Structure 1
């Protein structure tokens, strides 16, 4: 009883006014010293609260159907119900739950942003007091007047005007259902950039209304068939405030509730680096200047030591974009998750697999982006293991929101840019996942940092956005994945003197249709996530003398943006060579690319792999061990035979294929097929930069297997150097 009395004495007053505007602004700053004011949110999109007698019945019905179909029939919460919750809190077990509508309202207005040692009991006590003091109609009406609907809209009247240009009383059933779907969804879709998700949320509410008897079959079908049309809003280009401050406001609403943000009076210090933000915006404009009309792009950059977002920019050609809030096809981005699941379960990077391209070890398949290798590894570790690893790395919210049955393939998963940034922050920091108090519950608290601290108008600290780090993977697994990504050829035009070999890890992930693509690149200090979409191959402009070669694919444009941003920020975040964890002894070993064993002379392709000492091979390759050739000859007209034993090494010669006109990566594959190695040297600029101009020995020459073929590659423009094989200016294979 003493616990209950103490909680009752701590409850806030319930009769708060429902505001139609902020009494004081919310000021959002960057991370500079001194800080720069990014935006002052003085006037949100609001409208006068709708009185209970004027609240459309269809909005009440939609909210009840979506949140708590039993709300009209529930009795007022009794002291007995509260006592049962109290007993369950003390002794454990389940108890009667409070109405989700009542809980939703008190979260928006009283609970969000507060901490209490007994949160469930505190909320139940507050719900008891609310239901004893207020009628159900008042709770419903107040909830609808304080919900946050996105795009700066607080309350149903503001949302109706913003999205449809209508008063609440003029909303159709389908429009009312969409607004409720936006407000109550765990991860509310952005209807302007993700209309399919918004329609799905609307249809879910409509079907719930039908199931609860608010709609008959004919009304349901008419509402489901109603075209999805939104009121147009003025388009604005990317700026240092719009994208970032909209995102920060949404985070504040999720953290503190719409009612608290509507009252204003907060000073918010964020992680944004204004210089990097301006660089990101300029990079997008340059990378997309020759892209098809309607293309879109975004960049999210994360300072890896602190896990803080330092830049978040988006732009578009021909239309406004809210790409940051829209989930996109993940595709190859999930391949490192498959590797993590495998390495954490004891599978070695030297494990051999028989693939469509022949036998190769996991490391070789991963660094050559062989899809069949990844498919076989995923099947070996199993679907649940891959999904569990994805959750550990911060993709819990994406998995929950998507709800698909992925089988052994995660390529269909849809992810947002911040989810991608969180995933690769964990991979780039040797498996340490950032844990933030501002993250949503569905992500397991895992998220990159965006807010430094929040202060009230009197200067007192309201909250801080510090993050902790959780070991999601072993440090060995984290480094192995980075080593693989750093050894994967990317051919980005990064200057070799700024980005030496082993300082850049990359991954490109085009969509199945080719209309969009991700490109992720990171050094030891900075992660860059780029997405380009809205690409139409039929509308790619031709190159001009003024602009040079136009990017031919979304992937090329995304890679170009990543390279430009990384080069422009290299002076601020100097790339360092990736170092293996000091807690484990590592060794650089040469192994057969097919068997993973110590190579014999007959192994056609060998590669160097940095592995923990425990994984160093102890056996010689048995796939390519050569035996002597025994030839038996019968002398004519006699019964005498002659036996000759010849070492097959004498016959181990091949003709050199031509590699002129190929990229270094293509040349490596062609030479490796006959057991030859390649070393490239960058020559003078020419008409075909990045392609091989000459080779030695010449095509057709006879050489022994294992010999090195030298090639001269035409240079890129003077400020760039061709980069292959993990950042090196030379590439070697056997």
Structure 2
């Protein structure tokens, strides 16, 4: 014990009595010898009383006084500890006070009106469309069936009637689930928090906003009843496809009122709030079906429906019968529909849920009117005579990818199917451009010669239109005349992989397979991707992503999307210039003659699929690329020609060109000594059969006696084997 106490007593440091400081003021009065004697006696005599103990508090006080002896107050730890703790408490209290003062009045929930209008503007800021809610019907809680209330509570907030606005159990459960899945698989927001987010908060994602959301939810719970909260939520929640609230959703997805909905339909709607665009049955029916069944199982778990009802409902189809939201001042409906489909990819879902967006687009209203007239004339004048009932046209600025005009069909009101973006059709000879571009980029010359004669490769026998042959021809002349056999031979020489890679680099996004028929367009693409890919050549080899949206503003006028797209070099400039020169020849003296413009250079290519089911022309000037398609939705053959598509192109471009100054294409680069920018990877066929060489000029004229501008029709035959031999190195 004496040794223990000696730790607190430093006799060498005791001040001298002569200085007026008494030793007892520094240490407690302890007789160490007496204590030691008492301990010794206690160890010998069991009946002796226990030794005297020094209180711990006395030791602590003594120690603290020893630490602070002779120090000014500002050098003492207690002073600074008190200052820091006190200052922190004051700052925290002030922050909490300011936080509370900044919270909105929760009663505003009862009077909040959502700005549900989506406004789409043309490039000149004229209104293309204003889309409003489907019904504008807001229902009192008594008019909302109990099954709808139950479904949303089971799906979104099963402890809705127990918590005070924040469900801490749900937060813990969601956190554990997300950590386990290593993704955000589950959320912890209550219905009240979601309502607070819709009415009061911006869509930003931050800890501050989440704290505000939680506190506002608690204040809402203090002011409003559970029934009032649920009523406002079910009338304001965004449910995808332009539907705000359950009444809108019932109409948009099923063309029903809320009291007409079946249990599976109710569950479909109740599953939408976490991701309205992704779970929309109109956009992703398979995902929507899975989500619906999750809601049904949750309803069963909480006892809202029986297992038998759940099983029967999960077996039911989605049963969609959609009715679109109301649209006002509709112009260019195919284009505005395309814009609406693109929005969820560009704008955060929180902003879509809030509504009131303004979308600034790239559409040129004058050019759009010209495009609509050209399509109308093609369908009404040329269609009956040539056996097609539909047409589509799209124009894109190749310098930046902006869509300037889009007509997706004859009548949007009768059929909303957009043949510019949704129709996958065989492009025919328009695809030859990508094969030839790959060859030119690999160092081939447009003057390289190929034999046009009967030809069979690995069992596949391509045929020219009219089954005619021209003998030895250059690549340039073969493209101008759209000779099928030469196109297949060029594909074999350059290789499948380089040709496919080139098409992808230029903008083709659809699936391409390494078959010989690839050279003749035996694949499916849509008009927008095909047209934009040609624009890569017009832009001197630079690819710009086609787009129709420039900017998106939220209801507060803040820019939430600014389309700053970057170009990339997909084709080297010299190869792009050579291909443009070759495609000019198609328009000057080949199958594209009806697209000729007298005041400027035009480059382009015609295309016809098997039995003339699809008639194409894609052409460009330096500032604009336009694609035209003619055909039938049921893929029924026409008896027309791609020359009609070229004529429609010329009808549109001759008017539009009045707004565009004439520019020349780049000059043909020096060909001598030119090296390729990519490497050819020739195909090694198993078997090649070459027919006799025809006499000079045989078949140089159209022996069928038909339209001199007709596109040679490819003979489509899939090879009898799965894939030909080819090397997979670039």
Report the TM-score when normalising by structure 2: 0.55
Quick one: distance in 2 between partners of 1:394 and 1:416?
Answer: 11
- Partners of 1:394 and 1:447 within 8 A in 2: no
| Pairing of 1:23-422 with structure 2 (within 5 A) | 23=115, 27-32=119-124, 35-41=125-131, 46-48=136-138, 55=148, 76-77=170-171, 96-99=182-185, 122=205, 146-147=237-238, 149-150=240-241, 152-168=242-258, 170-172=260-262, 175=265, 226=317, 230-231=321-322, 240-252=331-343, 254-257=345-348, 260=351, 268-290=359-381, 291=383, 295-316=389-410, 319-323=414-418, 327-332=422-427, 336=433, 356=461, 368-370=483-485, 372-373=488-489, 376=492, 380-381=496-497, 386=500, 390=504, 392-393=505-506, 406=513, 417-422=527-532
Alpha-carbon contact 1:302-1:526 (below 8 Å) kept: yes
Q: Kindly indicate whether the alpha-carbon contact (under 8 Å) linking 2:419 and 2:527 is maintained by their aligned counterparts in 1.
A: yes
Of 595, 604, 613, the match for 2:674: 613
Distance in 2 (CA, whole Å) between partners of 1:378 and 1:187 is 42
User: 2:490, 2:312 → 1: CA distance?
Assistant: 44
Report how far residue 425 of structure 1 moved. Answer: 3.2
Question: Pairwise CA RMSD of aligned residues?
Answer: 6.3
Tell me, in whole angstroms, the C-alpha distance in 2 between the residues paired with 1:324 and 1:556.
Answer: 20
Deviation at 1:523, TM superposition (A): 1.7
Quote the offset at 1:323 in angstroms.
0.7
Q: Displacement, 1:381?
A: 1.8
Q: Which residue in the other structure is 1:678 paired with?
A: none
Where in structure 2 are the equivalents of 1:243-642 lying within 5 Å? 243-252=334-343, 254-257=345-348, 260=351, 268-290=359-381, 291=383, 295-316=389-410, 319-323=414-418, 327-332=422-427, 336=433, 356=461, 368-370=483-485, 372-373=488-489, 376=492, 380-381=496-497, 386=500, 390=504, 392-393=505-506, 406=513, 417-434=527-544, 446-451=545-550, 454=553, 464-488=562-586, 491-492=591-592, 494=594, 496=596, 498=598, 503-508=602-607, 510=609, 516=614, 518-535=616-633, 552-553=639-640, 558-573=645-660, 576-580=663-667, 586-587=669-670, 613-614=674-675
Is contact 1:243–1:312 with CA below 8 Å preserved after alignment?
yes
Aligned residue pairs, count = 542
- Higher helix proportion (structure 1 or 2): 2
Q: Tell me if the contact between 1:506 and 1:519 (Cα under 8 Å) persists in the aligned partners.
A: yes
In our comparison, the structure showing a higher alpha carbon Rg is: 2
Q: Whole-Å Cα distance in 1 between the matches of residues 363 and 437 of structure 2?
A: 30
SS at match of 1:38: strand
SS in structure 2 of the partner of residue 372 of structure 1: helix
Q: Aligned equivalents of 2:346 and 2:156: distance in 1?
A: 22
After TM superposition, give the deviation of residue 167 of structure 1 in Å: 3.4
| Structure 2 stretches lacking a partner, 5+ long | 1-91, 158-166, 219-225, 301-305, 464-471, 678-692, 713-730
Task: Give the secondary-structure state (helix, strand or coil) at the position aligned to 2:566.
Answer: strand
* Structure 2 residue matching 1:468: 3-state secondary structure: coil
Identify if the C-alpha distance between structure 1 residues 50 and 147 changes in structure 2 by more than 3 Å, giving closer, same or farther. farther
* Cα distance per residue 1:643-672 (max 9 Å; x no partner): xxxxxxxxx996876877648xxxxxxxxx
User: Residues 27 and 211 from structure 1, CA distance in 2 versus in 1: closer, same or farther, beyond 3 angstroms?
Assistant: closer
Structure 1 match to 2:164? none
- Distance of 1:377 and 1:205 partners within structure 2: 51
Q: Pick the structure with more strand per residue.
A: 1
Question: Given that residues 296 and 315 in structure 1 are in contact (C-alpha distance below 8 angstroms), is that contact kept between their aligned partners in structure 2?
Answer: yes
The 3-state SS of whatever aligns with 1:283 is: helix
Query: Following the alignment from structure 1 to structure 2, what is the Cα–Cα distance between the partners of residues 387 and 417?
Result: 19
